[in-house]
């Protein structure tokens, strides 16, 4: 299946069916709200775990600004990948490849969100937090997005902007890049790799149609499953560093070790013969449950 040619103009038949509410709904959908919602948790977690972070209004402004910046990056990603999305079963009905919105409107919307978010993040947090936000935005849009067409290493590069929100939250509260904030960054960075590797096995055919470079296509499922184990092995001890750093109590450590062991057991199950998409689906679900549990444990046993 080849991608349909895209135009800067709105598809007439689609436009006749769309109401102003529908246009707003499609603009919101470009921001990938479910992905952006993760930022609400990780950014606020980084802010509230930092010392001296006791202003609810301040954290709401920081989280809101970071969420707007992520929405901008996701929107611009949709603009740049509109043709690719048109070739994939799970994305071809999105607003841009389906022709319900013109590319120019998506581009304007994405740039406008960034123009609002960065000054707001600087005011709500500080210039260093805004600088980290700009770095995340640039890395995702200008490096990761085009890199996916050339090498599976893009997965690792893409994990960098995905891991920056908790560090942005920490820096917004403290004004400094400190080891605890970097550990929070490390947890998100390492977690994303097995999370996405599982997804790449589940959606192998779609990625092949779009000619995107992912490990399961470049190296095969066996290598992908082995990498999922290696990254999960690295994740577990990093998650425990928050205890000796004084960010969380021993209750968190016990819970994080238990959750990490369960997540690792699921990853190790992929090394058995016959592990395929069903296993990948379970690993993907386990990764979501793991990260949710980690941040719940931090909310219960974390400092502040």
Angstrom CA distances, 292 to 2, 6, 156, 223, 234, stand at 38, 38, 21, 27, 18
**What's residue 10's pLDDT?**
43
Same CATH fold, 179-304 and 1-177? Answer: no
What is the distance between the alpha carbons of residues 139 and 158, in angstroms, rounded to a whole number?
A: 7
Q: Quickly state the pLDDT bin for 90 (edges 50, 70, 90).
A: confident
**What's residue 1's pLDDT?**
33
Ramachandran angles phi, psi of 296, nearest 5°: -65, -45
Angstrom CA distances, 98 to 4, 110, 246, stand at 9, 18, 50
Positive/negative CA dihedral, 249, 252, 257, 260: negative
pLDDT in tens, 239-270: 999 999 999 999 999 999 999 999 999 999 99
pLDDT in tens, 96-123: 998 899 999 999 999 999 999 999 999 9
Q: What secondary structure does DSSP assign to the chain, as a single string?
A: --PPP--SSPPHHHHHH--HHHHHHHHHHHT-HHHHHHHHHHHHHHHHHSTT---HHHHHHHHHHHHHHHHHHHHHHHHHTHHHHHTSTTTTTSTTTTTSS-HHHHHHHHHHHHHHHHHHHHHHT-HHHHHHHHHHHHIIIIIIHHHTTT-TTHHHHHHHHHHHHHHHHHHHHHSS--HHHHHHHHHHHHHHHHHHHHHHHHTHHHHHHHT---HHHHT-HHHHHHHHHHHHHHHHHHHHTTTTTTSB-HHHHHHHHHHHHHHHHHHHHTTSTT--HHHHHHHHHHHHHHHHHHHHHHHHHB--
Angstrom CA distances, 214 to 24, 82, 196, 198, 224, stand at 33, 19, 10, 11, 9
Q: What is the mean pLDDT of residues 226-235?
A: 98
**What's residue 236's pLDDT?**
98
**What's residue 18's pLDDT?**
63
**What's residue 37's pLDDT?**
80
What is the distance between the alpha carbons of residues 60 and 50, in angstroms, rounded to a whole number?
A: 15
CATH code of domain 179-304: 1.20.120
Distance of CA 165 to the CA centre of its chain: 9
pLDDT in tens, 60-76: 999 999 999 999 999 99
Q: Is the pLDDT of residue 276 over 70?
A: yes
**What's residue 145's pLDDT?**
95
- The CATH architecture of the domain made up of 1-177 is Orthogonal Bundle (1.10)
**What's residue 109's pLDDT?**
95
Q: Is the pLDDT of residue 14 over 90?
A: no
Q: Is the pLDDT of residue 9 over 50?
A: no
pLDDT in tens, 15-57: 445 678 888 999 999 988 887 788 899 999 999 999 976 678 8
Q: How large a percentage of the chain has pLDDT more than 70? A: 93
**What's residue 34's pLDDT?**
81
What is the distance between the alpha carbons of residues 234 and 219, in angstroms, rounded to a whole number?
A: 21
Where b means 16+ CB within 10 Å and e means fewer, 274-283 reads ebeeebbeeb
**What's residue 53's pLDDT?**
67
Q: Is the pLDDT of residue 2 over 60?
A: no
Domain boundaries, the chain: 1-177, 179-304
Rg (CA), the chain: 20
Q: What is the mean pLDDT of residues 9-19?
A: 49
Q: Quickly state the pLDDT bin for 8 (edges 50, 70, 90).
A: very low
pLDDT in tens, 122-139: 999 999 999 999 999 999
**What's residue 68's pLDDT?**
95
Q: How far apart are the first and last CA of the chain?
A: 53
Q: Is the CB of residue 284 less than 8 Å from the CB of residue 225?
A: no
pLDDT in tens, 158-209: 999 999 999 999 999 999 999 999 999 999 999 999 999 999 999 999 999 8
For the entire predicted model, the pTM comes to 0.91
**What's residue 17's pLDDT?**
56
């Amino acid at each position: 299946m080849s991608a349909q040619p895209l135009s800067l103009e709105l598809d007439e038949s689609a436009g006749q069916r769309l109401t102003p509410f529908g246009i707003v709904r499609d603009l919101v959908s470009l921001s990938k709200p479910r992905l952006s919602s993760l930022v609400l948790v990780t950014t606020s977690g980084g802010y509230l775990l930092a010392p001296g972070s006791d202003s609810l209004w301040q954290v709401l402004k920081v989280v809101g600004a970071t969420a707007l910046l992520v929405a901008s990056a996701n929107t611009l990603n949709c603009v740049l990948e509109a043709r690719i999305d048109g070739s994939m079963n799970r994305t071809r009905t999105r607003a841009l490849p389906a022709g319900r919105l013109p590319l120019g409107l998506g581009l304007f919307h994405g740039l406008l969100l960034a123009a609002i978010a960065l000054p707001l993040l600087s005011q709500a947090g500080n210039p260093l937090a805004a600088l980290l936000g700009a770095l995340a935005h640039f890395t995702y849009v200008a490096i990761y997005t085009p890199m996916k067409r050339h090498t599976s290493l893009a997965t690792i590069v893409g994990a960098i902007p995905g891991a920056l929100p908790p560090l942005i939250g920490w820096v917004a509260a403290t004004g400094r890049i400190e080891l605890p904030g970097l550990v929070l960054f490390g947890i998100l960075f390492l977690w994303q790799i097995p999370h996405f590797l599982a997804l790449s096995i589940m959606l192998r055919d779609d990625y092949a149609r779009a000619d995107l470079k992912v490990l399961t296509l470049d190296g095969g499922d066996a290598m992908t499953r082995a990498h999922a184990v290696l990254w999960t092995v690295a994740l577990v001890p990093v998650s425990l560093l928050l205890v000796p750093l004084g960010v969380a109590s021993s209750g968190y450590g016990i819970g994080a070790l238990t959750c990490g062991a369960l997540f690792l057991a699921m990853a190790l199950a992929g090394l058995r013969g016959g592990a395929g998409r069903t296993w990948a689906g379970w690993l993907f679900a386990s990764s979501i449950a793991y990260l949710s549990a980690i941040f719940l444990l931090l909310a219960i046993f974390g400092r502040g």
